[in-house]
Amino acid sequence: MDFEAHNAEVREVWEAYHAGNPIRVPMTLGINPRLTLLDPKLNVDGTTFREYFEAPRIMWDVQLRHQHWVRHNLVHDSEMGIPDRWSVYVDFQNCYEALWFGGDLRYIAGNVPDVPPFVTDDRKWAFLDSGAPDPFGGWMARNWEYYEQFRAFAAEAEFHGRPVDVVSPTGLGTDGPFTIGCALRGATELCLDMYADPEFFDAFMGFITEATIERIRAYRERLGVPVATRTWGFADDSVALLSVSSYRERVLPYHRRLIEAFGPDGPNSIHLCGDATHLFPTIRDELKVNAFDTGFPVDHGGLRRTLGPDVFIYGGPHVEFLRGRTPAEVREETRRILESGVMEGGKFVLREANNLAPRTPEQNLAAMYRCCLEHGNYAGQTLQAGGGSG
């Protein structure tokens, strides 16, 4: 592949998109190191998540090898080939917040680690009475230890002849208060609390929300970045469990607290893996959100008609569809989505829904990209970089 030509086209596509005059739909992929750790074909050393979590040098090495493989094998609208600079970050996957609140890490063979719910009925008020965790304590102390070790590695190391930047520790964002609550309490238990013990539910959600706000503020201060912001992005996947009325009454107030702290002016963005599209109009209007990173199942054309042409939508074929079907089927599903009406307004980004699964065939992603090149073009627009780098 001609990486130089591909990268020139990628720059042109994204510049046009961000300028509000898109040439074609950009295609991106949500990828993290689990893609290579959980694929025996790629993880030839057999590195486990236990080793990845517990040894900063292994986490460093895995991330760099992972990036190198992605940059040479998975075609999408991202720079490919050797970069000017590599980047690493502290990565405790989606466990970090539950660990910070006091959960126990469980390693699972052939899967990502997990933190089982631990705030049981007999100790739920005692959990609140124990107070908010130290932003720099527990697993978050390890987070900062790894961050400092990465910075020391970066001062001395190169990878394929290029320097390495350390992007950040974990913990500057959040998976969302309701999702954290489900992780700590259990989804069934938390939903029962919502109706059977609303006093505890509100105290619990407020506790999580305020602790999260204080952690993010403390991290920004330590890193020397502005504490006050105008716009922000967050997630809260578990709200897909809720009706519009339940979301409005019981969870939206805590989302408002987060937005008031970090995105009071907007426009803001949100990532929601499941089918939470019934909540999108409320989230758009109440939280000044104008960008939705969607999951599945999603009616992309219907969502565009509901939200209108001025809202940014990210989405695409189901991850299991991409992993298990043929290239021809992937191409047809991608074409169906692109022709659904979701491209109206020029604010659609094609991606897998949502976070690429290990062992997804590269030829399926290539088929998705080729279909994007053929069916994701906007009328009257022409690529200057040559077009069709897939």
Q: 37-67, pLDDT tens digit by residue?
A: 999 999 999 999 999 999 999 999 999 999 9
94-113 pLDDT, tens digit each:
999 999 999 999 999 999 99
In angstroms, rounded to a whole number, what is the distance separating the alpha carbons of residues 233 and 347? 17
Crossing angle of helices 362-375 and 327-338, rounded to 10°: 30
The answer to whether residue 390 scores a pLDDT higher than 60 is no
For the ranges 217-231, 238-252, 370-384, the lowest mean pLDDT is seen at 370-384
Tokens standing for residue 120: 């049981």
153-212 pLDDT, tens digit each:
999 999 999 999 999 999 999 999 999 999 999 999 999 999 999 999 999 999 999 999
The beta strand positions in 181-316, using DSSP E, are 233-235, 268-271, 289-293, 312-315
Residue matched to tokens 């502290």: 90
The answer to whether residue 387 scores a pLDDT higher than 80 is no
Pairing of strands 312-315, 289-293: parallel
For the ranges 115-124, 178-187, 344-353, 379-388, the lowest mean pLDDT is seen at 379-388
Torsion (CA) 166, 172, 173, 179 in degrees, nearest 10? 110
105-157 pLDDT, tens digit each:
999 999 999 999 999 999 999 999 999 999 999 999 999 999 999 999 999 99
The answer to whether residue 321 scores a pLDDT higher than 80 is yes
Contact 277, 299 (CB under 8 A): yes
Model confidence band, residue 1 (pLDDT cutoffs 50, 70, 90) = confident
Give the mean pLDDT of 249-257.
Answer: 98
Tokens standing for residue 208: 């999580």
Residue 49 neighbours by CB under 8 Å, 6+ apart: 34, 37, 93, 107, 112, 113
Residue matched to tokens 């939705």: 292
Tokens standing for residue 220: 């920004």
Q: Judge if pTM exceeds 0.85.
A: yes
Q: What is the DSSP string of 3-46?
A: HHHHHHHHHHHHHHHHTT--SB--B-----THHHHT-TTT-TT-
Contact 352, 316 (CB under 8 A): yes
The proportion of the chain whose per-residue pLDDT surpasses 70, expressed as a percent, equals 97
Per the prediction, the chain carries an average pLDDT of: 96
Whole-number pLDDT of residue 291: 98
The answer to whether residue 236 scores a pLDDT higher than 70 is yes
Nearest to residue 97, comparing CAs of 201, 183, 167, 207? 183
Instruction: Compute the radius of gyration of the chain from its Cα atoms.
Output: 21
The answer to whether residue 386 scores a pLDDT higher than 80 is no
